Amino acid sequence: MGTQEMMKLYYGWIFPYRDFYKWLAYGNDSKLPQADAGFMQRREFCFTLDGDIFDLDGLQAAIKERCPSKLDIGPVYNINPARRAAYAGSGQTFTPVERELVFDIDLTDYDDVRTCGSGGHICNKCWPLMAVAIQILDAGLRRDFGFQHILYVYSGRRGVHAWVCDDRARCLSDEQRTAVANYFAVYRGQEGGLARLALGLEEHPAVTRAAAILEPVFVERLLPEQGLLSDDKRQEALLAYIPSERVRERARQRWAQGEAGDDVARWHALEEEVAKEQATLAKARDTRGAKALDRAMRSVVFAHAYPRLDLEVSKKMNHLLKAPFCVHPKTGKVCVPIDPERAHKFDPETVVTVGRLLDQLNKARGGVKGSDAGEEWRSTDLVPAIQTFRACFLDGLQGACRESLAARARESAAQPTLVW
């Protein structure tokens, strides 16, 4: 079966249109008086949507007709994007007015610290980098910014997307989005073989919290699975962060003598040498030197494990991002939601593919077409992904949207009527 035929069948029978539409409508598909009937009509997708009314049926028909190899979502504009040419010269500006705050994390940005592969490679050895990024981003967005409705999605190949969907997140200006993105920009790239990190690490509560999340993952997963201290070259790359030559030399001697036999043991040996040096510096009342060693050890962890965000994706309201539940054209994998509480349990190597879903669908219906296109995912392995989407995101979001629209209706009803 060719790729185009597979896409036609997937988008014709399995793609979860109802849940997808419920999310993007944000309650505007309801009959509440404050619902905006034209809301979805003004949403930009990566392919043109025809017609005056864009409802669930219109969304389903448009996707099925085009069978896109990639489906991207953009902002909601002040006018229908399909009609923007008609407004040219009218004086009305074509402007995005609402868009989810989005984040993109890609494993290719970790190629200098992962040893299991590079480029499009992804496996259970490097997935902890994505899982811990979800943990840190989720903690910051919820605790520091107060956002509640956040959807995490496996990109289908080598990364993770985050969609922050609270009312106030969707209405942030480009300047405000930039400020939120920069809040998480501790990692600033490489310079002279070392990571550039925006620190006070020991001072800011968000960084202290991140360190508590990162350090166990670094020691228990990344050190042994990526072999970060497994040979001389990698050892020297890590020791370059340590400002004391005495500590570096003592660590080298212990590692060379085989006293510390594996990567985790080598790390603990380095910690011991740092602690000894700090005790010596404390006796000499060199608090600055002792703090520099603390900072260096934490810098190693952050350099290897802190989230490396594609900041440009987050800064602009009009940036397109791949839709959840679409199929990645290079891997055939479905872009499935991730439970942030179980991100470390997620296995990118077993994510459902469009081929597997179509096989399951064919077996379930015995070659006979079903009666409810767009709902036949119920007979496939897409079921857990839909359940995660609902339980971790959609159910809570819908409740908030209904309450928001009801509150607007109450406010409108409470406004005094002017009598002339």
What is residue 28's three-state secondary structure? coil
Task: Report which DSSP code applies to 394.
Answer: I
DSSP output for 141-201: IIIIT----EEEEE-SSSEEEEEE-SHHHHT--HHHHHHHHHHT--EEEEETTEEEE---T
Burial profile 287-310: b = 16 or more Cβ within 10 angstroms, e = fewer: eebbeebebbbbbbbbbbbbbbbb
341 catalytic residue (yes or no)? no
- Is 273 a known active-site residue? no
State the catalytic residue, choosing from 29, 98, 100, 106. Answer: 106
How many Cα atoms are found within 13 Å in the side-chain-facing hemisphere of 37?
Answer: 5
Exactly one of 19, 100, 104, 277 is catalytic; name it. Answer: 104
Helix, strand, or coil here: 222?
A: helix
Q: Which residue type occupies 153?
A: V
Backbone dihedral angles phi then psi of residue 365, each to the nearest 5 degrees:
-105, 5
Angle between helix axes 56-66 and 17-25 (nearest 10 degrees) is 120
DSSP 228-277: TTSSHHHHHHHHTT---HHHHHHHHHHHHTTSS-SHHHHHHHHHHHHHHH
Residue 274 carries which side chain, given as an amino acid letter?
V
106 is catalytic: yes
State the catalytic residue, choosing from 44, 263, 277, 376. 44
Active site residues: 44, 104, 106
